[in-house]
Structure formats: C-alpha cells, structure tokens
Amino acid sequence: MDCQPYGRNWSFLWNVSIPKWAILLLIIFFFVGVWVLMFYILTSLSKTHTWLLPVFAVGLGAPRWCQGVGLGMILLQTLSRLHVCSALALAQVIGSICVMAARATASNRIGPGSVFPDVGTWDFSHGLKGSPMASAPFWLALTCQTVIVLGYF
C-alpha cells in the first residue's frame, strides 16, 4: 500500500462498495462544480473586499492553497515590491531548510508515521492507555497547525 496519505485516501475512495460511476460523478461534482463555484464567488467578492481570501483561509484552518494565496495578498497590500520579493525569497529559504531538517530527522521519513494516528485500531476496552490519540507527535503537529492559524489572525 502507498505510504503517502493522499494515496490512501484515493484508494479508499475507489475501494468502497459503491458503483464506480457514482464515485466518478461525485468527484466531478465536487472538484469541478463545487470548486469552480467557490472560486467564482471568492474572485467576484475579492474585487471589492480584498481581505476576504486571507480571512477565508484562516477560517478554514489555513489549508495550503489558501496559505500561499492569502499570504501573497497580505504582503502585496502591506509592503512595497522590494519588501515582498525579499520576504518571499526568505520564506522559501526557511521553508526549504525546515523541510530538509524534518525529512532528515523524522522517525518515518517517507510516510505519515505516528503523526496521523489510526483511530480505527483503538481498543476501547483499555481506555486511553494504548490509544492512538495518546501520540505526542500528533498533539505537537495539531498544536503547530493551530498556532499557524492563530498567527494569521
């Protein structure tokens, strides 16, 4: 089985007991219909309310696509072009260093490891002892993601 979390999500989606054509229709409805509608609404409202997308990104818990677009809009509206260029270049360097350090020091370098606990393996008869939710890396990662969202506010 694939070690990447996205591969597992897609393989689970295609391996449920629903007709494949129904799954395909749901994928098309969501990824084409819902996303196109959402981007159309965000685009039209952003023309008059320029801070809408960054605030929307924070409200969603700052997913990656909103972080890049939201931060870019914040920088463009508050700094000069030279400052934006410098800030983006420095952010790329810091991000690259962090990714390299995380990849080199992670307990499971190519997969999610214990950061994403499998709640399906939890034996409730033992209580919290042995619970996948007792994973320290999970809570550390969740805290870091929450700090990022609070930092945007």
Q: What percent of the chain has pLDDT over 70?
A: 66
What is d(CA 59, CA 55) in angstroms, rounded to the nearest whole number? Answer: 6
- 42 contact partners, CB below 8 Å, separation of at least 6: 52, 53, 56
- 150 contact partners, CB below 8 Å, separation of at least 6: none
**Mean pLDDT, rounded, of the chain:** 76
Q: How many CA atoms lie within 13 A of 59 on its CB side?
A: 6
Residue type, 32: V
- 149 contact partners, CB below 8 Å, separation of at least 6: 58, 61, 62
Residue 70: pLDDT over 70:
no
Report pLDDT for 28.
92
User: Rounded to 5 degrees, what are φ and ψ at 43?
Assistant: -65, -45
Report pLDDT for 14.
83
Report pLDDT for 129.
67
pLDDT in tens, 103-132: 787 766 666 566 666 667 767 676 666 666
Which phi-psi region, left, alpha or beta, contains residue 58 (left: φ > 0; alpha: ψ -120 to 50)? alpha
The residue that leads in pLDDT, 50 or 32, is 32
